[in-house]
Amino acid sequence: MLHTRPLHPGFGIEVVGLDLSDPASDAAVDQLVKELDRHSLILVRGQTLSNARHVGISRRFGDLMTHVLKQFLTTGLPEIYVLSNVTEDGKPIGNHKEGWNWHSDLSYVAEPSMGSLLYAVEVPPVGADTLFASMHLAYEALPPEVQASIRHLSATHSYAGYYGKAFADREPLSDEQKARTPDVVHPLVRTHPVTGRLSLYVGQDIIKSVNGLPPEEGNALLDKLNRHAISEEFVYRHKWRQGDLIIWDNRCTMHCATPYEDTKYRRIMHRTTVAGTRPF
Ligand code: SIN
**96 and 12 co-located in one domain:** yes
Q: How far is CA 160 from CA 68, 73, 115, in A?
A: 11, 19, 22
Give the CATH number of the domain where residue 215 resides: 3.60.130.10
DSSP state of 141: T
**138 and 178 co-located in one domain:** yes
DSSP for 35-46, written as a single string: HHHHHSEEEE-S
**111 and 15 co-located in one domain:** yes
Among protein residues, the one whose CA lies closest to atom 4 of ligand 1: 99
Question: Does 158 reside within a domain?
Answer: yes
Ligand 1 pocket residues where CB is under 6 Å = 83, 98-99, 105, 116, 118, 130, 255, 257, 269, 271
Among protein residues, the one whose CA lies closest to atom 8 of ligand 1: 257
Give the pLDDT confidence score for residue 275 in this predicted structure.
98
Question: Does 152 reside within a domain?
Answer: yes
**253 and 115 co-located in one domain:** yes
Question: Does 279 reside within a domain?
Answer: no
Read off the pLDDT of residues 69-86 as tens digits, 9 standing for 90 and up. 999 999 999 999 999 999
How far is CA 107 from its chain centroid? 9
**178 and 68 co-located in one domain:** no
**138 and 181 co-located in one domain:** yes
**35 and 108 co-located in one domain:** yes
268-274 and 81-84: which strand pairing?
antiparallel
Question: Does 29 reside within a domain?
Answer: yes
Q: Domain range for residue 53?
A: 4-124+238-274
**213 and 256 co-located in one domain:** no
Question: Does 245 reside within a domain?
Answer: yes
**119 and 16 co-located in one domain:** yes
Q: How far is CA 32 from CA 4, 20, 111, 246, in A?
A: 11, 11, 22, 11
Residue of 81, 98, 103, 267 to mutate, ligand 1, most atoms within 8 A of C-beta? 98
Among protein residues, the one whose CA lies closest to atom 5 of ligand 1: 257
**204 and 177 co-located in one domain:** yes
Read off the pLDDT of residues 221-273 as tens digits, 9 standing for 90 and up. 999 999 999 999 999 999 999 999 999 999 999 999 999 999 999 999 999 99
**108 and 48 co-located in one domain:** yes
Number of domains making up the chain: 2
Read off the pLDDT of residues 96-111 as tens digits, 9 standing for 90 and up. 999 999 999 999 999 9
Question: Does 129 reside within a domain?
Answer: no
**208 and 141 co-located in one domain:** yes
